[in-house]
Amino acid sequence: MCGIVAYKGQKDCFPILLDGLKKLEYRGYDSAGVACLVNNKIDITKRAGKVKELERAIAGKKSSKNCNGLGIAHTRWATHGEPNQKNAHPHSDESKKITLVHNGIIENYDPIKKFLRSKKIKFKSDTDTEVLVQLIGYFYNKGMLSFEQSVRAALQRVDGAYGIVILNTDFPDMMIAARKGSPLVVGIKDGEFFIGSDVSPIVKHTQKIIYLNDSEMAVIDGTNYEIKSVDKDVSLPKKVEKIDYKIDDFDKGKFKYFMHKEIHEQVTTIHNTLKGRSTKSSVLLHGLSEYWEEIKAAEKIYITACGTSWHAGLIGKNLIERFAEVPVHVEYASEFRYNHSIMDNKTIVIAISQSGETADTLAAISKANDFGAITIGICNVAGSSVSRETNCGIHTRCGHEIGVASTKAFTSQISILYLFALKLADSRKRITKTDMKKHLEMISDVHQKDIKSVLKKEKSIKKMAKKYQNASDFLYLGRGLNFPVALEGALKLKEISYIHAEGYPAAEMKHGPIALVDKNMPNVFIVPKDKTYDKIISNIEEIKSRKGKIIIVTDSKDKILRDLSDDLILLPKTNQYMFVMLATIALQLFSYFIAVAKGCDVDQPRNLAKSVTVE
Q: Looking at the annotation, which residues are catalytic?
A: 2, 610
- Using CA atoms, how far apart are residues 259 and 128, in angstroms rounded to an integer? 33
* 73-98 exposure pattern, b = at least 16 Cβ within 10 A, e = fewer: bbbbbbbbbeebbebbbbbbbbbebb
Q: Which residues pair with 176 in a beta bridge?
A: 166, 219
| Helical segments of 401-532, H only | 408-427, 433-444, 448-455, 458-468, 482-497
Dihedral in degrees, nearest 10, Cα atoms 371, 374, 378, 379: 60
Distance CA 216, CA 460 (A): 52
- Cα–chain center distance at 556: 35
Strand-by-strand arrangement of the 174-180 sheet: 91-92, 98-103, 162-168, 174-180, 216-221, 224-229
> Could you give the residue ranges of the DSSP H alpha helices within 156-303?
258-264, 266-274, 292-296
Cα–Cα distance, 571 to 237 (Å, whole number): 53
CB-CB contact of 145 with 139 (8 Å): yes
- Coil, strand or helix at 355: coil
Asked whether 312 and 417 are in contact (CB, 8 A), the reply is: yes
Amino acid (one-letter) located at 74 = H
Alpha-carbon dihedral angle through residues 279, 284, 286, 292, given to the nearest 10 degrees: -140
How far, in Å, CA of 379 to CA of 392, rounded? Answer: 11
How many Cβ atoms sit within 10 Å of the Cβ of residue 252? 15
- 364/349 Cα distance (integer angstroms): 9
CA dihedral 555, 558, 559, 561 (to 10 degrees): -50
Nearest 5°: the CA angle 94, 95, 98 is 95
Could you tell me if 102 and 163 are in contact, meaning their C-beta atoms sit under 8 angstroms apart?
yes
- Backbone φ, ψ for residue 198 (5° rounding): -150, -170
Q: What number of helices (H) and strands (E) belong to the chain?
A: 20, 24
DSSP conformation class of 90: P
The continuous run of DSSP H or E covering 375 comes out as strand 374-379
Name residues whose C-beta falls within 8 Å of residue 62's C-beta, 6 or more positions apart in sequence.
none
